[in-house]
Amino acid sequence: MAGQASRRPDFSTLVGISLALAGLIGGLLLERGSIQDIAQVTAAMIVLGGTFGAVLVTTPLHVVRCALKRLGDVFLESSQRHAGVIDDLIRFATKARRDGIVSLEYEADSVPDPFMRKALNLAVDGTDLQELRKMMEIDIAQNEQAREAEAKVWESAGGYAPTIGIIGAVMGLIQVMKHLEDIKEVGHGIAVAFVATVYGVGSANIFFLPAANKLRARLRESIALQEMVLEGVASIVEGLNPTLLRLKLEAFDLRRKRPKPRVAYTDQPGPRPAEQPKVTGR
């Protein structure tokens, strides 16, 4: 069907992460540093292991699993889905006005989107419009709650990572203090110890927190799409004209380019202001 979602790489995410890493690594190299200065496996183990351990303590396991599966939405985005859904709804509205809403029974079962399929089946079964709206709004609220919980998993990781990085730095300093007799080793050890802080702060601000916000952006798009589908199905039940229905549904598509307002220009001069009466002295 035309409304079926298609996926493509989200270049804003890929370019953003690449640009952030290039800036950090480029700054390190310009300061005459080396990649080996921050390539510490033990620091990564401390930060990542401690961060995800803390997340598992605070979050139910099934939510963490869903959040890991949802991670693909950070790197992939849907392509032109609203337009396809609108076309499907207009086609359903046209057929319902011509042959009756019961004629959508077979087509409703073949709809790939479960939300639209459920709404159409309820409409075909003759469900009261108010009851249909309540049932589908419950589905929207449940979807919003579940996906918000998934976004909070990555937000929690972004909150724990900098603190775990500080813990890793302190652990490194403890090891340094055992060898104060060799000043060269002390300097090298301190430099290595603070790599964990870099990993913690960097992972939180480059990936974890941005990933949570990107998932929330995807959530807003999904909710807008479901609200559009619900409004479309309700309008089909009401028998709204397909042309008017398209105008209504296009208001839900935030990606659609809005036409610029037309401004009428004329070469005719505007009305002249009224002349003020002259005041003469006595």
User: Does any domain span residue 270?
Assistant: no
What number of other Cβ atoms are within 10 A of residue 263's Cβ? 5
More confident residue, 266 or 4: 4
What is the rounded distance in angstroms from the CA atom of residue 14 to the CA atom of residue 73? 12
Q: Over pLDDT 90: what percentage of the chain?
A: 51
Of 201, 185, 186, 199, nearest to 40 by C-alpha is 199
Does residue 114 lie in a domain region?
Answer: yes
Say if 71 falls within a structural domain. yes
Total of domains in the chain: 1
Q: What does pTM read for this prediction? A: 0.81
**Per the domain annotation, does 170 fall within a domain?**
yes
Query: Where do the H-state alpha helices sit in 31-75?
Result: 41-58, 61-70, 72-75
For residues 89 and 233, the answer to whether their CB atoms sit within 8 Å is yes
Instruction: For residue 81, give both structure tokens.
Output: 């889905």
Q: Which domain holds residue 168?
A: 7-32+42-250
Does any domain span residue 267?
Answer: no
More confident residue, 2 or 163: 163
Digit-coded pLDDT (tens) for 9-51: 889 999 999 999 999 889 888 888 788 878 888 889 999 999 9
Question: Out of 133-142, 158-167, 262-271, which region has the weakest mean confidence (pLDDT)?
Answer: 262-271
Contact by Cβ (8 Å): 54, 160: yes
**Whole-number pLDDT of residue 9:** 87
pLDDT at residue 281 greater than cutoff 50: no
Write down the pLDDT at residue 65: 96
Q: For the CA atoms of 42, 48, 49, 51, what is the dihedral angle to 10 degrees?
A: 140
Distance CA 97, CA 90 (A): 11
- Joined together, the tokens standing for residue 91 give 């086609």
* 168: in domain: yes
CA–CA dist 222, 140 (Å, integer) = 9
Task: List beta partners, residue 77.
Answer: 8
56 part of a folded domain: yes
Name which residue leads in pLDDT, 185 or 130.
Answer: 130
